[in-house]
Amino acid sequence: MGKPLTDVLTLAAVSLAIAGQAFAAGDAAAGKAVFTQNCAICHSTDAGANKIGPSLHGVVGRKSGSVSGFEYSPAMKAADKTWDPQTLDTYLANPMQVVKGTKMIFPGLKSDTDRQNVIAYLETLK
């Protein structure tokens, strides 16, 4: 492999890493407000405290359908997703389309900014 190809591959890898981080570039404080208004009715942010939906404490990086003690839909159990920022962004835009058969009947957050802010907030829940 020649030097120019190595340089191109290195640049591509760095670009992908930066693009993946861009999804989490939101404002966590603004995200907490959006979360409180749209999500908190069904989801807790406390570890082990499930509500109508599973606890979202530690959700970033977690496998879908994996919170102990929560009864997921068969669709979510089979979804086999890892909740990274990009996957969360897609899911939060239209949950019922991304995981057909999910119990989550929320129409989604249509604003890119709101989604990025919520994801930034979720990343603080560790």
Options 3.30.420.40, 1.10.150.530, 1.10.760.10, 2.40.160.10; CATH of 3-123: 1.10.760.10
Give per-residue pLDDT as tens, 20-39.
444 458 999 999 999 999 99
Residue 109 predicted with pLDDT over 70: yes
For residue 52, give the H/E element and its range.
Answer: none
Residue 3, pLDDT score = 56
Could you tell me the CA-to-CA distances from 5 to 2, 11, 18, 26, 77 in Å, in that order? 5, 10, 20, 34, 41
Band of residue 14 on the pLDDT scale cut at 50, 70, 90:
very low
- Residue 45 token pair: 């942010």
Residue 6, pLDDT score = 47
Higher pLDDT, 12 or 110: 110
Residue 25, pLDDT score = 81
> What is the C-alpha separation between 9 and 3, in angstroms, rounded?
10
Could you tell me the CA-to-CA distances from 73 to 30, 63, 79, 92, 120 in Å, in that order? 30, 14, 10, 17, 26
> What is the C-alpha separation between 76 and 86, in angstroms, rounded?
17
Is the Cβ–Cβ distance between 72 and 54 less than 8 Å?
yes
Domain boundaries, the chain: 3-123
Give per-residue pLDDT as tens, 49-98.
999 999 999 999 999 999 999 999 999 999 999 999 999 999 999 999 99
Residue 57, pLDDT score = 98
Mean pLDDT calculated for residue range 111-118: 98
- Residue 114 token pair: 């709101």
